[in-house]
Amino acid sequence: MNKDVRRLFDQNNKRFRPVSRGLGLMIVSFLLAASASAQEIMTVPTYHWSYTYARELSLRHRHLDFSQANWPVTIGEMSQLADSAGAFIEHSAERFWQTRLQEFSQSPLERKSWLQFGGRVSERAGDFGEATRSRAGLRTQLALFPDKHLAFVNAIRLDEELREDPNYLGKRWRGFAGYTEQAYVALHFDKYVAKLGRDFVRWGRGVDATLLISDYSRPLDHFFGRLDLKQFRFDYLAAKLNSEYLPDSLRQRYATDLSDRYLAAARAEVNLKSNFFTLAITQMALYGGPSRGFELYYLNPFLAFHGEQLNEEEKSNTFGAIDIVLRPKDRLQFYNRLSPRQRNCRSARFAGNNDWPGVYPHCQPDVQCHHGVGKIPAPQPAAGAFFGQ
């Protein structure tokens, strides 16, 4: 009986083996074809060196489409910037920046694989203290692209420098500290973007930090949506911030040890006449408290957050900003930002700012104005060597 069953199994296996092979090749071919350009929708970490080169090129040539107030950007956007910059190159340093951006942004696109995994090891040498004179780090990345519009990305960072970072909230193990830096699923079409998970967020202008949403802190766990109509862009995010321990006097009152915190933000940006004039309006709400979750009215990006918090019993800290950039010619720009902010004492004690720099709760409404005029000199020829990616 066993021999008959085995003979029948072998016959069926031989019969269906060509079919299974063909089906397997068909599935693999479909995945490779579908994800041929899926790597374009991966975001570039905001601390990456490519932002420095992209910013230098966009400052010198206003016709290049690169936002300095809304990061992260995708690998595809970096690639488009590098290709567009070729028509405006005037100096050897600009050629160096453009070449480096092309090498970085186009190499992932040439692989056209539906599954990517790898890592990068870095080490910084110097006098960091008596115990050691170097700092080592490891960043691993795993990405899955089942379709050209869909991406699953995970990146983990292990770094010796994190153990001395006062903003680090995790554990330390044998001199190393680490956390999951990126973990998100992104759905990306030409005009519409949706992303859920952990990723970097940077809104506002600045060099090492910004006064709206800074990337100085850890990446946010959030939902992000975008409508991009070339000259008009609308962004929205809803994030869960880290929880705060309540003082002893409040633990008994609320019967809990923790206070949850949330952030909602919406930003509309209009860009006219090839970056000659840019106007952006931003509204944000920082709220939280014991046993308080996401508020439905803050999940609606088209509501006026400040008006909603005035009409609700649960108060919040609301912020606003108006950014104006005028670029009459290359290497010259005028920038101004008006920041009206209304803060509420009742919610300030639950709203902290450990992982959202730029928020300092107090009780008085205030208006701030930041402005600047920039005249960018011609770059000097590039010299030296560059290592790493």
Of the candidates 253, 247, 351, which has an alpha carbon nearest to the alpha carbon of residue 309?
351
Chunked mean pLDDT (size 10), the chain, 389 residues: 48 46 42 53 94 94 91 94 91 94 78 77 66 76 92 92 76 82 95 97 85 86 96 97 86 85 97 92 94 91 92 88 93 86 46 38 41 50 29
Q: Given this model, what pLDDT does residue 131 score? A: 57
Residues 235 and 183: their CA atoms lie apart, in Å, by 20
Supply the pTM of this predicted model: 0.78
Q: Given this model, what pLDDT does residue 382 score? A: 32
Residues 270 and 247: their CA atoms lie apart, in Å, by 44
Residues 97 and 49: their CA atoms lie apart, in Å, by 10
Q: Given this model, what pLDDT does residue 15 score? A: 46
**How many C-beta atoms surround the C-beta of residue 57 within 10 A?**
23
Q: Given this model, what pLDDT does residue 36 score? A: 43
For residues 270 and 232, is the Cβ–Cβ distance under 8 A?
A: yes
CB contact set of 70 (below 8 Å; sequence gap of 6+): 202, 203, 233, 235, 267, 269
For residues 315 and 356, is the Cβ–Cβ distance under 8 A?
A: no
Q: Given this model, what pLDDT does residue 16 score? A: 39
What tokens does 372 get? 């600047």
For residues 120 and 389, is the Cβ–Cβ distance under 8 A?
A: yes
Beta bridge partners of 279: 270, 324
Residues 116 and 362: their CA atoms lie apart, in Å, by 47
Q: In degrees, to the nearest 5, what angle opens at C-alpha 10 toward C-alphas 4 and 13?
A: 140
Length of the chain: 389
Helices within 86-229 (DSSP H only): 92-111
Of the candidates 82, 81, 54, 50, which has an alpha carbon nearest to the alpha carbon of residue 68?
54
Extents of the domains making up the chain: 37-111, 201-377
Instruction: Classify residue 171 by its DSSP letter.
Output: -
For residues 223 and 231, is the Cβ–Cβ distance under 8 A?
A: no
**How many C-beta atoms surround the C-beta of residue 186 within 10 A?**
21
CATH of segment(s) 201-377: 2.40.160
For residues 278 and 323, is the Cβ–Cβ distance under 8 A?
A: yes
